[in-house]
Chains A and B, each alone.
Chain A
Amino acid sequence: MITAKLQIILFIASILTFLSIINMIRKYNLELKYSLLWLFFCIVNVFLASFSQFSIGIAEILSIKEPVNAIFLLSFVFLFFIIFSLTLTISKLSGKLSQLVQEIAIIKKELETDRGNKASK
């Protein structure tokens, strides 16, 4: 069993999250590329809230007694995906950052050598 109260709360929370994410992208505060996963999970949550058969079905497949617990499990999986995508992004960014730092350091060195050459002339 999944209560109507929980369904309504989940539904409203998902819709509000979806709209506020869209609004933040619209104001250029969020990058669409990194919001796609959030938007996707919001849509999945709206479906889960609207049709209790989904959570009941998932609970049956995984032999979970209460469909509510299936929803908790799914939330856990969603969070896992989002956190993992963040780790992935951070790894890419740290690679790019060290490339930039190295490039700047080399340019700085070249500038110094240039100035030294000019001064000695």
Chain B
Amino acid sequence: MKILAIIPAFNEEQGIKHVVHQFKNIENVDILVINDCSRDNTSEVCRSFGLNVVDLPCNLGIGGAVQTGYIYAAINGYDIAIQVDGDGQHDPSYIKNLIEPIINGQADLVIGSRYLNKEGFQSSFMRRVGISYFSFLIKLLQKKNITDPTSGFRACNSRVIKLFSKRYPVDYPEPESIVYLLRNDYRVEEVPVVMNERMGGESSINSLKSVYYMIKVSLAIIIDNLRKYGLT
């Protein structure tokens, strides 16, 4: 079974060192770093550790960067693709829990949730309010409980890889992609994980952008829910 870890990285030369360290004991997983036109030495740092790097010639944002990974996975016939943030927040030792439901054929996409067991780094209060709002919205529209819809720690099978390589939401893709999958009858499940605080770099969401983020993602989710079954 071929497994690919997709690591989107934008100015993460500090974070990526932690990620390399964390991946030391993980076997049978190929790593692909998508360098989203970083201004720092992310690409050089990755290469010095012998990692596979794709350097995007211009900045695409998280959606376009991650989709590059899915296209790579589809071209190279990977069975499972795992998304891991490039800032050290996600502990790769949970990868085996993440891919278990996929191997057993119980799910198409598995999300690593920090709120199922409420352990480890739980994020700031305002973030948690935003996250539970998206949970509520998804529950309202798709009747499915997703406790951590913004989690970027996810694994999916080859059917979803193919789908994502054709179309993947831009800007802030995680919550929208969940609705996109549920609307087309894919099975989305969650497993508990423990996340760390980010190590270096800056979050892609700051307080100024958060209002824009909430409105845009809400609209994106609602409009996606209006789309017909099978429209991909």
Contacts and interface: CB of A to CB of B under 8 A. Distances in A.
B219 interface: yes
**For this complex, into which size category does the number of interface residues on chain B fall?**
10 to 19
A25 to B, nearest CB: 5
Contacts, number: 29
A33 B216 contact: yes
A110 interface: no
A96 B56 CA distance: 11
A36 B219 CA distance: 9
B189 to A, nearest CB: 27
B58 A32 contact: no
Contact of A32 (B57, B219, B231): B219
A112 interface: no
Interface string A28-54: 100111001001000000000000000
29 contacts: A22-B223, A22-B226, A25-B223, A26-B223, A26-B226, A26-B227, A27-B231, A28-B167, A28-B231, A31-B170, A32-B216, A32-B219, A32-B220, A32-B223, A33-B170, A33-B171, A33-B216, A36-B215, A36-B216, A36-B219, A39-B219, A95-B58, A96-B58, A99-B57, A99-B58, A100-B57, A100-B58, A102-B57, A103-B57
Shortest 5 CB-CB distances between A and B: which pairs? A103-B57, A96-B58, A99-B58, A26-B226, A99-B57
Interface of A: 22, 25-28, 31-33, 36, 39, 95-96, 99-100, 102-103
